[in-house]
Each structure stands twice: as C-alpha cells, then as structure tokens.
Amino acid sequence: MGRKRAVLVGINYPGTEGELKGCLNDVTRMRLCLVDRFGFDEADIRVLADADPSTPPPTGANIRLELEQLVAGARPGDSLFFHYSGHGLQLPAETGLDDDTGYDECIVPSDVNLIKDQDFTELVQKVPDGCLFTMVSDSCHSGGLIDKTKEQIGSSTKQSKKAQQHRPPSSAPGKLCATLVDAVRAALEYIGIRLPRRATATATSRSLPLPTFIRMLREQTGKDDVAVGSIRTTLFHHFGDDATPKIKKFVQAMAGGMLRHGAAATGTGLIPNGVNAKPEGDEEGDQADALGPAMKQELLQSVDEVFARAVGVPRRPRNGVLISGCQTDETSADLTTAQGASYGALSNTIQAVLAKEKRRKVTNRELVLRARELLSKQGYVQQPGLYCSNEHADVPFIC
C-alpha cells in the first residue's frame, strides 16, 4: 500500500474586511478524520492556518510550495489529499482582447497572492499515473478549480462575463424566504399572537467581492491606485518570484507585445510601473530586472495561455479529483451556530456523511450526491460539484 499524505489549509483572515470564522475548525476536524478514519500518519499531514500561529502562514507561496512538495514526492499507489477552507474569487479578464471574456477562478491565500484554477491544473498534471490527488475546496466559486477536469456532478461551465452578470445572486431565494418569515411573524405579533423565537445561526459567504479584494490588495501592497485592470500586474510587482505562474505568463505576454492592444496598451495601468514599452539606455537593464521573474517562465506559445479561461491546456488532468463547495457561479456558506461553533457548510456536511457511514467506504460520487441532498434539506442553496475522470468518479473518497 502506498503512502498517504495531505496538505490542509484554513484561512479566517482575522482583522480584515473579509474575516471568516469556521475555516480553522474545518481543518482541525478534517485532520482528525484523516488520522482516525483514513489511517494517515500525523507526520504526513501538513497544516497551514492563519488562526493557528503554530503552523506556517497560509500565504500563496507557502501553499504552492507545500503542494509542489506533495506532488513531487508522489509514487504510484500513493493517496494525496488537499483541503482548502477560505475565500474564493472570480478574477475578470484584463488583457483587453475581445476573445478574453471569461474569469479566473481563484483561492485567496492570507496575503492575497492568488492561486488560480490553471495553477491547479498544471499541478495535477504532474501527478504520476497510479496516484490520485483529491482536493476539497470549501470556498465560493470553487466549481472547476482544477480547470479542464471533466464535470461529473454539477453545472459549472466557463460562462461568458455577460452571462454571469445577468445571473441572479445565488443567495436570493434564502433572503426572500427569511424576509417572508419575518413579515409573517410581525403580522401575527401585531394581532397578539407571539411565536417562540429560537436562537438562530448566522451565515456569511465565503465569496470575496472584487471591491473588497481590491481594498485588501491595496492594504497588502501599500498601493492606493490598484483597480480592475491592474490587479495582475500589481500582484506581479509585489510578489515577484512568489507570484503565481499564470500571473508571470500574463506579464511575459505584455513584455512580448502580445497584449499591447486596446485596454492592455501602455498608459492604461496594465504595463507594470517602471517598465516602458520601448526602453532606452539604462532603462533596458532596469526593465530586464523588473521582468526577471516573468521571463524565467517557459516562453508562451500563444496569447490564449493568459486568457481568463484555460484555452491552451494540452491535455485533461487525469489523476485529480475535485469536490467543490458550490458551482462556479455560486457562493459557499461560513456558518456560526447559536452555540458559537463555526464551520463551512460543505466541510460540516462531509463530516456528517462520513460519520453516518462509520467505517464503510463512500465513493466520490456518493459523497457529493449525499452532501447535495443534506445541504438542500438544511436550506442551503449551494450545490457541491464533482470533477474527475470517469474512472475516478466511483472510487472511494480519498482512499
């Protein structure tokens, strides 16, 4: 039997505008589950949590390093597991090209150094045959985070920006229901009928609205001029070598003249500060230094590679399984009960399904279908998804 190894990430963003409550608890419960139910050795479980100072901080660079090490040491027969609880983000296109109309689905590390769906695709493509990488992402917009993986359960597709803009908010039915209940209660109390009031739970979304993310990025970088259209270059300038590979590809495309059209032209804020379109004299050396992290990347074959949708992926990642908290256009809930316990809706449901089955193995498909059913009964509108090849849809969850 192969080795079982895991990376667990929980980010509560304490003290920020995007603070959550349940992510550390999700990771703590999953860690116990891996040891008690699935037989993981505690030494083979790496935890990164911003609310636990005994663990490494869950920055973008640290998360990617842990995942690279997880995959680099993999052998046939191994079981690899990655759990993420935290914010998700849909990052709009910034190339200015007419064909680039999609979004990048991202997770948001503690330092807001985004990790994108294509980054996960490239990671899973390194997993050797005979080894399986399972990822649970209890975050918003998590459907399709391993880009180009076949969707087994769900309806997430890379929709156009226009289609997503015209879709009603996924939380609307819940809000309408709550409004009607309050109205009925008020009407009954007006005529002297008082209904018992139960202590209620509070739920927030694990979605990070783009304006909120921009404010957090401004705070992280100290740059007040960050806006839609300059997010990727701001991330590149601030994080340099630690920026995600797709961010570096984006800047490489700009430096190579691929994006100097429309909104990507010099002077719009997309060309990195200090990098001129036509450097002269000493400026050429300065530009080379500024672009160094981007130019170390493998050279782009097509501008499609930096689009906010993966066009140039050479093959589907075969050895990965993604269980998402919701669909691409949905949000995932972060819940705090009346008793003060906090957790993610998907994470809590996974634990409930596994606990009910005791030691019986539960397949990936069965887990997602039962999670959907349970969440629906509890009044949640989010719909978990399953993304993997046909051969892995009905294998046991994790191992």
Structure tokens at 70: 């997880």
Catalytic residue among 23, 83, 87, 106: 87
Which single residue is written with the structure tokens 């256009």?
A: 329
The answer to whether residues 310 and 147 touch, using CB atoms and an 8 Å cutoff, is: yes
Q: Could you give the angle at the alpha carbon of 206 between the alpha carbons of 201 and 212, nearest 5°?
A: 120
The answer to whether residues 67 and 82 touch, using CB atoms and an 8 Å cutoff, is: yes
Classify the phi-psi angles of 282: left when phi > 0, otherwise alpha if psi is within -120 to 50, otherwise beta.
alpha
Catalytic residue among 33, 140, 326, 399: 140
Of 308, 303, 376, 329, the closest CA to residue 88 belongs to: 329
- Within a 10 A sphere around the Cβ of 226, how many other Cβ atoms? 23
For residues 214 and 335, give the distance between their C-alpha atoms in angstroms, rounded to a whole number: 25
Alpha-carbon distances, residue 220 vs 59, 215, 346 (angstroms): 12, 9, 29
The answer to whether residues 160 and 101 touch, using CB atoms and an 8 Å cutoff, is: yes
What single string gives the DSSP state of each residue in 331-391? Answer: --EEEE-TTS-EEEHHHHHHHHHHHHTTTS--BHHHHHHHHHHHHHHTT-----EEES-HH
Q: Is 140 a catalytic residue?
A: yes
Which single residue is written with the structure tokens 């990098």?
A: 275
- Is 315 in a helix, a strand, or coil? coil
Count of helices and strands (H, E) across the chain: 12, 13
Alpha-carbon distances, residue 332 vs 11, 92, 325, 383 (angstroms): 14, 20, 6, 9
For residues 342 and 201, give the distance between their C-alpha atoms in angstroms, rounded to a whole number: 9
Residues taking part in catalysis:
87, 140
